[in-house]
Amino acid sequence: MTGYYTITYAIDGAGHVEHVLLGIRDRALDGTPVLAVILEDMRQLEAQLFETEGYGEWAPLAQSTLERKAEQGYPPKILQATEWLMDSLTGSAAAGGHVEHILEDELIYGTTVPYAVFHQMGTRFMPARPPVDVREADVRRWTKLIQAYVFGVDAGEMAAAGGGLTIAPFGLVTNSPFGAAL
């Protein structure tokens, strides 16, 4: 009796790999959860920047400026006479002049306060005192967050990368490293 034999190959985990790849694709196409984490970090960095007067790097105010601010009842802190600029960069979208948009692949953050650009760049009459100061370490941290989010890195790997964001193969599952629930 002649028979036919069938050989069947099964690849263990193929379904899991497919799900992981689909998760990577979905997270790469919609980065809004991780961009919301980065937005909150930006707000906190701006608050630190104003509190420390440019991490102690902003040029001091001229004596005449300090005297004028005192006469007008303004605080002596740099860039905080009316707090409009500071509020626009540290506040919510409700703060006057605040600009914030999270798209699937883009985060837009800033201010429309008209004099911000003069402080950012300086003028021939005034030294630069940048109210927005994104440092290389910030960009590296945000890049790691985006990579962890897109590739579904687990908590241990993310902690080794310097953050506390926990990600499962199918999406963000816990709080951000900055304390904001997602």
pLDDT tens, position by position, 130-150: 999 999 999 999 999 998 988
The token pair at 34 is: 């991780």
Work out whether strand 106-111 and strand 167-168 pair parallel, antiparallel, or are unpaired: unpaired
> Cα–Cα distance between 95 and 97 in angstroms, integer?
6
Which of 1-15, 73-87, 101-115, 148-162 is predicted least confidently?
148-162
Note the residue count of the chain.
182
Between CA 19 and CA 28, with CA 25 as vertex, the angle to 5 degrees is 140
Q: Are 67 and 50 in contact (CB under 8 A)?
A: no
Whether the full predicted model's pTM is greater than 0.75, yes or no, is: no
> Cα–Cα distance between 50 and 42 in angstroms, integer?
12
> Cα–Cα distance between 168 and 42 in angstroms, integer?
25
pLDDT at 18: 79
Query: Crossing angle, helix 136-151 and helix 32-51, to 10 degrees?
Result: 160
Q: Are 88 and 81 in contact (CB under 8 A)?
A: no
User: pLDDT digits over 12-51, tens only?
Assistant: 777 777 777 888 888 889 999 999 999 999 999 999 999 9
